[in-house]
Structure formats: structure tokens, C-alpha cells
Amino acid sequence: MSTEERALAGRYVLGDPIGRGGMGEVWRATDTVLGREVAVKTIDLGRVPDEAGAARFEREAKVTAGISHPNVVTVHDTGVEGDTAYLVMELLPGPSLAQQLADGPLPVEEVVSVGRQVASALEAAHARGLVHRDIKPGNVVHADDGRVRVVDFGITQLGEATGGQALTATNTVMGTAEYLAPEQALGQRVDGRADLYALGCVLYALLAGRPPFSAATPVATVMQHTSDPAPDVRALRPDTPAWLASLVAALLAKDPADRPVGAAAVVESLTTRTAPAVAGAAAATTVIPASGADPTQRLSRTAPVPPVPPPPLDAGPTTRSERYDQEPRRGSSAPLWVIALVALAAVALLGWYLFLGPGASDDPSATPSSTPTTSAPSSAAPETSEPAPTTSAPEPTPSPSESPTADDPAQAVSDASAALADEVDALDREGGIDKDAAKTLQQEIRDIDKALRDGDAGTLVDVRNSMLEEYGTNVDSGAIPPEAADRLDPLVQDLADAVDAYDEAQG
């Protein structure tokens, strides 16, 4: 886009660029209708490889615009004009945390204040089913009211590159390597706990002056996130309070289930200056865990239930009342190179058996071939009167695409809809949910089923968005109590994910 004067939607006159990324730019602009200065973020959809990018951008932007929070940038308008998607926001004076870090680490008290505000913003976003996916110092900017604002909600869903350190993979979104959660780097399911990991990286950077992991290349940095233990921030910042160091360490846990139970728990720790509430810990604090693309899960005032090992991918749906922070992680639990090493070891063991094990030549001078065979045991094993034991490589965990419903998005939506309907009915019978809230959910589930039967992906997505918004409102108002939300959150998210997958499959 040139720097010549250009008006979007006939009202937003773009001025000078004030920020630039791999596919997006931020412009100082004037709203000629309301006569105010604004910031306009533009995305060149022609450079987004996903054909459904424009539609997804619009959906995410609508959800973002629905967040009203003092620590989330205010969104005034959004739309698509030609190949340009745009988001109109309040104009922030800055600086960003990235600009502040250029001058060195921040005072501990300022780090605590900034961390509390960012965690509060994440709590509000997660309650609406929105995962940021790119929390980093450059996306936290100071406003003129003295607070900080988190920016770029929803835009990261498109996979916006930022600088030279952005990564992407099929069915994932881009993130910045130094602030990328392990599960995000491995292409596994990403939820609100990935944002909490990124927040841990930000807190570490604000205290130490640099992020916890940083290597010569983005790939090397990602490998550190997935395999290297998190460094103790006190090694670089000795005056860091013990409780704050413990919070940073908990946020940087490799396993999402070992991180604080939600953004509200982080706010609690940064407010009371105590160690964070972590899944499985013997705590009795009421917290509201964040859910990435999930609505917020709320835990009761009882001690959390110890974490349950996730079931295998082919074991069917998890227990409906299973806590959000214990839901199974989809995808491989280890990097591919680990699986490859196991397979090579198994092949070597099989070769040893074929040439040196029972049934090999009785001639002491006979030696095995210098090139071991890799043919199947049935054709290579010598004939013997007794059945020989076999050794085979362990089968790798099936990927999400191999799951029973991965190739049938419509069935996945139907299954998720039925599971949510069953749980809503159960809560309604138990009196654990407001009657009107139950009726609203039941009607939206019926609308989803009808749109699915009609094959109307557009209506299906609209109902999905309406359901998420109504659900978040009922949770916030108490119409859906914390105990009920604890049971419904994972089911609502499963249905939302299934609808998104169906929409993408329909093109």
C-alpha cells in the first residue's frame, strides 16, 4: 500500500505508517465521519495462503470488538475492501514494552503492574473464546490513561508475520519464536494456556532484559522451548522476589496442565504476591482459568482434583466434567525425531534377531551380512520347529487427522453438539443452571443441528459465534454458575472447534 492518501470504507483516510509486519501494517488515520484520529491495521489478504482468510478475519474481528476491557485496545470498526482487511482501533501514544526493553529491564514493581494488566486482558478475551496466540512485548502498548493495552487480538488468527522471527505451520497460526508455547511450536491444539506461557516469557524478558529462550534461528529457538528447561529468572535478576520467580517458572511449564489454572489465577498471584494456583495443587482459591479458543472455565472453592492422564486419541470423548486444564492434547506428544529414533532402534533390534538370534547358522565362522535386511520377518526368518518371538517397532500415536471423525467434519459437529446438549439437559434437570440460559443454549444447539443438516456453513458459523457470545454473557452474569461452567466449557469449545473445521472443509 502506498503512502499516498487513501480512504477505506469512504471514511478512514490513511496517513503515515506507524508499524509494519510481514503481512500487516498499522497506519495513523483520520475518521472523517467522527473527526478523530485512529489507528488502522491493514492485512493484505492476497498474501494470506488461506482462501478462507477474509471470512475468518471478519469473524475474529467481531469477537475482538465485543471485548470491553481497560487493558484491551478498543476496536471501533472492521471490514474488508478488495484484497485489504482492516481493523480500526483507538490510537495509542505508546511506547510498547518492546521499545521500553530496548533501554533495559524494568523495575520489579512495574513488571508486576504490567503483568497484572496483561493477565486481566487475557482473562477477558479467554472468557469470549478468543486466544491471542502472539503475546509479546511489541503487542503491549501504553495508553494515554496510564494503563497498557494488549493489541492484535484476532489478527493473529490470520497468521500475521512479525519481523523476521515468525513461524507458521499447517492448521496453526504464526507466533513469535521467542514467545511461542511448546504445544504451539509442535502444531498441537492451542488454547488459552499458550497465552499464559507467552506471558511468562514476557515477564521473564521484562525482568531479565531478554526472553528466556533465544537462539541464532527461529527453529533453534523453538527447539529450546520444546526441550530445554526454563532458566531461573533470578540468575539474571537476583532481586526478583521468590513468589514472582515461582510464578514465572509455573507459566513456563512445558506441559500446559502444569501452568497456572487460568489468567485469573495469574491476576490473583500478581495482586496478592503469592505463588500461583497450579492444576493439581492443594489450593482452595477461587480462580477462573483462561481458555484460548475456549470460554473461561471456572473452578469451585474446593481443592482442585488431581490431574487425570489424558486418554489415547482413539478412546473417544473425554469425561464431560473433566477439567479444562486436564483435557487431552491432540497431536503427537513428542517431536518427530524422538519417534524416528525409537523406530530406528526397533529396526536394529529386529536385524540383530534375524542374523544373530535363534535360528542363525550353527557355523561359528559364519558372520551376518554387512548390510542388514529390512524385509518383513515372515519372509526373512529361518524356518524353525518352534515359533520365534517377534520384535516390532511401537506404533506411533495417531495424529489428529487419523482420528475417527477427522475426515468427517460434519460428524464431528454432530457428536460435539450431542455431547453439549446432553450436559445442558443434565444441568437443567439438576437445577445447576438458569432456566433461560439453558433454553438459549438448547435453542442454539438445535439451530446448529439444522444448519448442519442443511449444509449451510455460513449459518453454522453465525450460530456458533452467537452461541459463544451468549455463553460468555451468561457466565459473566452468573446465569451459568462456576460449577456449571466448569462442566460446559470444554464441550462448548469442542463444538466451536468442530464448526470451524467444518467451515474450513467447506471452503
Enumerate the active-site residues: 134
Contact partners, residue 426, CB within 8 Å, separation at least 6:
none
Nearest to 294 by CA among 263, 335, 336: 263
How far apart are alpha carbons 175 and 148 in whole angstroms?
21
Cell representation of residue 323: 477439567
Strand partners for 140: 150
- For residue 281, the 8-state DSSP code is S
| Helix, strand or coil, per DSSP, at residue 317 | coil
Pairs from 432-438 (Cβ < 8 Å, separation ≥ 24): 432/481, 432/483, 432/484, 433/479, 433/480, 433/481, 433/484, 434/474, 434/479, 434/480, 436/479, 437/474, 437/479, 437/480
Asked if residue 229 has a cis previous peptide bond (ω within 30° of 0), the answer is: no
Find out whether 174 and 134 touch, Cβ atoms under 8 Å. yes
Amino acid (one-letter) located at 221: T
Check: CB of residue 118 under 8 Å from CB of residue 199. Answer: yes
Whether 41 has a binding-site annotation, put simply, is yes
Give the separation between CA 211 and CA 198, rounded to whole angstroms. Answer: 10
Grid cell of 187 as nine digits: 502444531
- The position carrying cell 503487542 is 139
> What's the CA gap between 115 and 347, in Å, rounded?
50
Residue numbers in the known binding site are 41
Residue numbers in the known binding site for ATP are 41
